[in-house]
Amino acid sequence: MNLHEELAQLARSAPPVAEVDLLIRRARHTKAKRAIAAPLAVVLVTLVVFLPNWSSQGAQPVQPTETRSFLVLRNDGPIASFPALNALLVSRALALGLISPHVSLIDSRTVELSVTGLPAERLLRAVAQSHRLHVRKVLSLTGGKPDGPLRFGPASTLDAVIAKLGEAYQVALNIQDPSHLDAGDGAKLAVFGELTPAEVEVLPAQMQFNVPDVTCAQLFARPTSQGTPLDQRFTTCQGETKFLLDGAKLTNDDVASAQGSVDQSIGTGFVDMQLTPAGRVKLTELSTEAYQNSGPTKCDASAQGDQERCLIGLSLGPRLLSAPEVQGILSSNLPLFAGGNVTREQMIALATAVSAKDAALALTVVEVRGGA
């Protein structure tokens, strides 16, 4: 059975899993969780992926029902291979915690994804986001405001958003330290909370980070997310903490292969990412820069761990999977360990996502039906 067939089979039988957003909110960033290896010249980095752990949270999974929600997606051009697109969308849906995803071909450019239940609309829309794996140096951290209700809208331009924000845009440009805002300026920034995720996406990454009223919910729901040039900075979240990341040094293209598995005795998931030769060189360069806090951009004290070394952030689409502190020069492959009580389906989906070479597929949301 090939990967496409296996994913299709898994999609039909996948058990319910927790919504990733809930889990990320529960995961609090602590320095104790950043340290990942002994201070050796060459160390192996462990990236802890935040996946559902019902036993530790005391919650119960949502039971599947006959109710289904639908997401209609359109590709920029004709779909070259429906089996490949089907496998990609199924893996994304499973990785996001959606239940029993099924993909139907509507026409040469359009597909419909259906899932069991009534998941949050932002979670359905996340299937269309770019799911590029990016590994970056973390530059700074700051606290964010609690999430408010989301407003969705069409793609926008920076000029249109500047006109909508008015004076608030100039106030945001002048922010030097998001943790020390003038009370009057803070009140003027409230309008940022009314932006749609598509409008937030066109703002400079530094502004997304600096403005407290740009929430993590808005950042997670950006429609294309990491379709920006690799050398640009990127803002994302873990819990309610914002992370400002430097340009990406490694991507899906640097992953030669990835295999997902679960240790059935303890329920711990594992994804083994085998890097290409070029990927291993890039990892060594990135970890050297993070370990020495060298290079053109330095990480500040908030983005350093217990050993005062920079963090390295691994993100998949708009979501930060892990941000461990680097305690040595890395030159090996990257294993990802998930928390307890995860499924083989989740690990296969995650392995597919981090190694997919067509993860930047340009998909547009045409319609959402049934999402909460």
Q: Is the confidence at residue 164, as pLDDT, over 50?
A: yes
Provide the domain limits for residue 158.
147-224
Name the percent of the chain lying above pLDDT 70: 78
Q: Which sign, positive or negative, has the C-alpha torsion 25, 319, 370, 3?
A: negative
More confident residue, 264 or 301: 301
Q: Closest by alpha carbon to 202, among 250, 163, 260?
A: 163
Residue showing tokens 């000029």: 159
- Which is more confidently placed, 333 or 309? 309
Q: Report how many domains make up the chain.
A: 1
pLDDT at 15 over 50: no
Per-residue confidence (pLDDT) for residue 360, from 0 to 100 = 53
**Percent of all residues in the chain with a pLDDT value above 90, rounded to a whole number:** 40
The answer as to whether 75 is a domain residue is no
Query: What's the chain's average pLDDT?
Result: 79
Mean pLDDT of 252-267: 86
pTM: 0.75
Residue 178: inside a domain, yes or no?
Answer: yes
Would residue 151 count as lying in a domain? yes
SS (H, E, C) 189-230: HHHHHHCCHHHHHCCCHHHHHHCCCCCHHHHHCCCCCCCCCC
The answer as to whether 99 is a domain residue is no
Residues facing 260 on adjacent strands: 271
pLDDT confidence bin for 17, thresholds 50/70/90:
very low
Asked if residue 173 belongs to a domain, the reply is yes
Given this model, what pLDDT does residue 133 score?
Answer: 87
Determine, yes or no, domain membership for 107: no
Instruction: Place 47 in a pLDDT band, splitting at 50, 70 and 90.
Output: very low
DSSP 6-37: HHHHHHHHPPP---HHHHHHH----HHHHB-S
Residue 177 in any domain: the answer is yes
Q: Is residue 72 part of a domain?
A: no
